[in-house]
Amino acid sequence: MIELLDGFPDNVIAVNCSGHVTKRDYEDVLIPAVTRTLKAHEKARLYYRVGPEFDAIDPGAVLEDVSVGISHLSRWERVAVITNVEWIRLAVRAFAFLIPGPAKFFAIEEEPQAREWIATS
């Protein structure tokens, strides 16, 4: 499941992934949030939290993730990935060179620092 998180500036798309993440989660939650944010702002920031309650991600969701990232490639200003799930850190690092702005990784225990970093201009 993907859920939107509150308490972030309006140019930040903040999500939490928990349980089983599906393609439908991307279609119903993440993609509409990205579309709304990019209508209002030239560039967007992504706060992507994958906590210890995360189980798995469907292959279709992985494809949606890559598609969302690439289709708006030049419009990502900054990306924060907050997780202790090592394979997710590695997967995001593999594509981080495509993001025009900085991408930074935080452990779950560093969540306050991640929130501060994503909101800082």
Q: How far is CA 95 from the centre of its chain?
A: 13
Q: What is the pLDDT of residues 92-105, one digit of tens each?
A: 888 777 777 898 99
What integer pLDDT is reported at residue 66 of this predicted model? Answer: 66
CB atoms within 10 A of CB 110: 16
Task: For the chain, give the percent of residues with pLDDT over 70.
Answer: 91
Q: Does residue 85 contact residue 50 with C-beta atoms inside 8 Å?
A: yes
When mean pLDDT is compared over 26-30, 74-78, 106-110, the highest value belongs to 106-110
Q: What is the pLDDT of residues 46-104, one digit of tens each?
A: 999 999 999 988 877 776 666 666 666 678 899 999 999 988 888 888 877 777 789 89
Number of domains in the chain: 1
pTM, to two decimals: 0.90
State which residues form the domain around 115. 2-119
CATH number at residue 104: 3.30.750.24
**End-to-end Cα distance, the chain:** 30
